[in-house]
Structure 1
Amino acid sequence: MSGVNFSDNSICPSIDNFRNKIYSTVYSLITVFGFVGNGFALYVLIKTFRQRSTFHIYMMNLAISDLLCCLTLPLRVVYYVNKGHWYFGDFLCRISSYALYVNLYCSIFFMMAMSCTRFIAIVFPVQNLKLVSERKAKIICACIWIFICVTSSPFLMSGTKEVGNKTKCFEPPSGTDTHKLVILNYFSLVVGFSIPFLVILICYTGMIWTLMVNSGSMKKQKSMQTKAIRMICIVMAAFLISFMPYHIQRTLHLHFLMKKGSSCDDIVYMQKSVVITLCLAAGNSCFDPMLYFFSGENFRRRLSSFRKPSVSTNLTEKKKKKKKKKKKTCTVNKINVESHKREEESLRGIDDKVVSASD
C-alpha cells in the first residue's frame, strides 16, 4: 500500500522523482518532530507517574506507539533517498510496513478511548468513579495492543521484491493479492476507522450538549469546557486531515488497481494521491504531542511539577548547608566552654595546693 508503481504503466511517465523527494522530506520531518514531541511527552509522563490517571495511561501508550513508528521511518528515508533501493533485508521491510499500520490504528483506538473517558467524566460525573479506573484503563490498553497487532499482521506478508537490479520494498500488490487486500481494506475501513470515528462523534456530541446545558460561571466548569473543546478540535483535525483522506484514497486506489485500461492521467493522479495521503497518515505522530499538551489532563501542571523538584532540591541543599554551619558553630562554642571550665578547675586546684602548703 505504500508503493505507487503499477505493473501496467510502463508507457506512462514515472513519478519516481516526485515520490522520492516527497517521501524522504516528509518522513525526515516526521521523524524529527515525532521523536522530539513524543519523546519529551513520554519523559514527562514517566517522571510524573505518581500523579497518574486513566488519561495519563492512554497518553503514555499513545506516545509509545508513535515512538515505535518513528524508529522505522529513518529506514524509509534511506530507501527513498537511494531512489527506491532497499538495503536492510526482507525482515525489516516487513516490520517497517507493519509498524506504520500498527501506529495508525493504535492512534485511532487510543483517541477513541480518551474521548470515551472524557465523555463519561463530563456526561456521567457520578458514575465516573465506578466506570473509569486505572486498572480498567490498563486492561483496555492491553486489549487495544493485542487487537491491533493481530489484525495488522497481514501487512507482514508484503516483503521485498527484486525488480531489475534493485531490491524494492513497500510495493503495491498485484494479481490475487489485490483481492485479498481489498477484503482487508474494508475490514480496517469499517472496524479500524468508521466505527471509532462514529463513537468519537457520539461522545463529542454528548459532551458539547452537556457543557452547553450546564454552562455556569464556575472555574471548574470553565476549565473542563476548555479542555473538552481543545480535545475535540485536535482529535477532529487528526481524523479529517490525517486518517480520513488516507482511508478514502486507499479504497479508491485498490479498486483502481483492479481496473484495466486506465488513462495515463488517471494513473499519474492516483500515484501522486497515494504519496500525499500516506504522508498525511504518517503525520499523525506529530498530532499526538499537541493532544498531550493542549487537552491532556493536567499535562501542563505535570510540566510545572516536573520543574519544581529541581528548585526544591536546591532549597533543601541550602538548608542543609545552613544547618551544618550552625552545628559547626555550636560545636566550637561547646569546645570553648569546656576548655574554659578545665582552665578554671586547674586554677582552683593550684590555689588549693598553695593554701595547703601555706598551712
Structure 2
Amino acid sequence: MLSDTVGNSYKTEPHPEDRVYAGVFGCIMVIGLPLNAASLWILLRRHSLQSPNAVLMVSLAVSDLLVIISLPMRIYFHATRRWPLSNMACLIITMLFRNNLWSSAFFITFISVDRLLAVVYPLRSRHLRTSSNAWKGAAVVWLFVLIMNVPGFMDLKHFKNRNNTTCFGPLDSMSATQSAVIYFQMALIVTMLAVNIICTVMVSWTLCNRPSDTAKINNKVNVMLIFAMNLVLFTICFLPVQIGLATKSFAHLTPLVCLAAVNCCLDPLLYYFSFDSFWKKKEDAIKEGEM
C-alpha cells in the first residue's frame, strides 16, 4: 500500500517536519506496542481460538505488532535524515510496513463479514463461521500480501541510485509496474470499504427491524461500534494514503503514512467492543463467538 521509498532530493539535515514525523511515529509505537501486546496476550489467554472472531482478532493484533516493529527505523531516519542500512534493507522494512497495513485492512473486512453473518444469518452461517475457516482465511491474506511484494522486488532499479539520506523520502516518479499496482490496490481498498459499508447497513437494519432475531445479542451498541470503528479505520487510515499514491500527491505522502500507522493504536478498541467482556474466560468466549 505504501510505496513511499523512492526519491533523492532530501538534504542530510532533518527538516522541521521530519522531527514532527519522528515524534508521531514515536507516539504510535509507544502507544500501539503495549496496547497490541496486551491485547494479544488477553486474546490468547482469555479467549479460545475455537471462535472465528477470536482467530481474526489475534491475526489483526499480530499484523499490528509487525507494523510497529518497522517503526523504529522510520523514527531514526526522520530524526537524523540518515539511513544506516542497505537499500535492500530499506525496501524490506518498507514492505513490512506496507504489507501489514494491507493485512490489517483485510482482517478488519473479515471481522465485518463475520459479524454480519453472526447477526443477520446466525443459523445458516454456522458451517461457515468456524475457526478452521478463519485460519484458512488468515493464511490466504498473508499469502496474498506476500505475493504483492513481487512487483516491488522485480523493480529494484529504482533503488540502485539511492543514498543514505533518501530511504523514506517522497516518490519522484513511478514505473509503469508500480502505477499498475497502485491502481489495483486503490480498487481493492475501495472494494473492501464498500464491503464494510454494506455490512454496516445490513447489520444496522437487522438490529432495528428484526429485534426477535437478534434477541440473543447482549450488547447491540457494541456491535454497531465495531462497524463504526471499521469504517473510521478505512476512511481515515487506509483510504487517504492510497488516494495520495493514486493521484501522485507525493509531496504530502509522509503525513498520510503517519495517519495510516495510527490504525495500530485504534485496532485494540475493536477487541474490546467485540466481546461483551474483554476479560471473559475461554469457555464463555466460545459461546459468545457463536454469535
Does the alignment reach a TM-score above 0.5? Answer: yes
Give deviations 1:298-339, integer Å, cap 9, x for gaps: 55133xx49xxxxxxxxxxxxxxxxxxxxxxxxxxxxxxxxx
Q: Give the Å deviation of 1:297.
A: 3.0
Residue equivalent to 1:196: 192
Larger Rg: 1
Residue equivalent to 2:275: 297
1:23-62 matched pairs, under 5 angstroms:
23-50=21-48, 52-62=50-60
Q: Give the Å deviation of 1:152.
A: 3.4
Q: Rate the CA distance shift 1:135–1:170 in 2: closer, same or farther, 3 A.
A: same
Q: Give the Å deviation of 1:133.
A: 0.6
**Which structure shows the higher helix fraction?**
1
The residue type paired with residue 233 of structure 2 is A
1:262-281 matched pairs, under 5 angstroms:
271=251, 273-281=252-260
Q: Give the Å deviation of 1:20.
A: 1.1
The answer to whether structure 1 residue 213 and structure 2 residue 236 are counterparts is no
Distance in 2 (CA, whole Å) between partners of 1:51 and 1:3 is 37
1:308-347 matched pairs, under 5 angstroms:
none
The answer to whether structure 1 residue 244 and structure 2 residue 239 are counterparts is yes
Q: Does structure 2 retain, via aligned residues, the 8 Å contact 1:98–1:153?
A: no
Q: Rate the CA distance shift 1:218–1:239 in 2: closer, same or farther, 3 A.
A: closer
Q: Rate the CA distance shift 1:160–1:241 in 2: closer, same or farther, 3 A.
A: farther
- For this pair of structures, how many residues does the alignment match? 277
The residue type paired with residue 68 of structure 2 is C
Give deviations 1:270-317, integer Å, cap 9, x for gaps: 62x222211101111111111111x22355133xx49xxxxxxxxxxx
1:53-202 matched pairs, under 5 angstroms:
53-82=51-80, 84-156=81-153, 157=156, 159=159, 161-163=161-163, 166-174=164-172, 177-191=174-188, 193-202=189-198
Distance in 2 (CA, whole Å) between partners of 1:232 and 1:21 is 35
Residue equivalent to 1:234: 229
Q: Rate the CA distance shift 1:60–1:184 in 2: closer, same or farther, 3 A.
A: same
Distance in 2 (CA, whole Å) between partners of 1:159 and 1:69 is 22
Residue equivalent to 2:15: 17
Q: Does structure 1 retain, via aligned residues, the 8 Å contact 2:36–2:64?
A: yes
Q: Give the Å deviation of 1:202.
A: 1.2
1:342-357 matched pairs, under 5 angstroms:
none
- SS class of match (2:58): helix
Structure 1 gap ranges (5+): 257-269, 307-359
The residue type paired with residue 203 of structure 1 is C
Q: Give the Å deviation of 1:42.
A: 0.6
Q: Does structure 1 retain, via aligned residues, the 8 Å contact 2:99–2:145?
A: yes
Residue equivalent to 1:2: 4
Q: Does structure 2 retain, via aligned residues, the 8 Å contact 1:245–1:277?
A: yes
Q: Give the structure-1-normalised TM-score.
A: 0.70
Distance in 2 (CA, whole Å) between partners of 1:228 and 1:91 is 43
Distance in 2 (CA, whole Å) between partners of 1:19 and 1:149 is 32
Residue equivalent to 1:346: none
The residue type paired with residue 204 of structure 2 is I
Q: Give the Å deviation of 1:249.
A: 1.7
Bigger mean CA deviation after superposition, 68-77 or 89-98 = 89-98
Q: Give the Å deviation of 1:51.
A: 6.2
Give deviations 1:166-196, integer Å, cap 9, x for gaps: 4431244556x433221110011112x0111
Distance in 2 (CA, whole Å) between partners of 1:230 and 1:22 is 31
Give deviations 1:94-151, integer Å, cap 9, x for gaps: 1210011111110110011111110011111111212211111110110011011111
Structure 2 gap ranges (5+): 283-291
Residue equivalent to 2:288: none
- Report the aligned-residue RMSD: 2.7
Give deviations 1:212-266, integer Å, cap 9, x for gaps: 112369863451x22321101111111121112111122122xx6xxxxxxxxxx
Distance in 1 (CA, whole Å) between partners of 2:245 and 2:45 is 40
Q: Rate the CA distance shift 1:299–1:38 in 2: closer, same or farther, 3 A.
A: farther
Q: Rate the CA distance shift 1:277–1:172 in 2: closer, same or farther, 3 A.
A: closer
The residue type paired with residue 268 of structure 2 is P
Q: Give the Å deviation of 1:5.
A: 5.6
Q: Give the structure-2-normalised TM-score.
A: 0.85
The residue type paired with residue 185 of structure 1 is I
- SS class of match (1:116): helix
Q: Does structure 1 retain, via aligned residues, the 8 Å contact 2:8–2:165?
A: no
The residue type paired with residue 282 of structure 1 is A
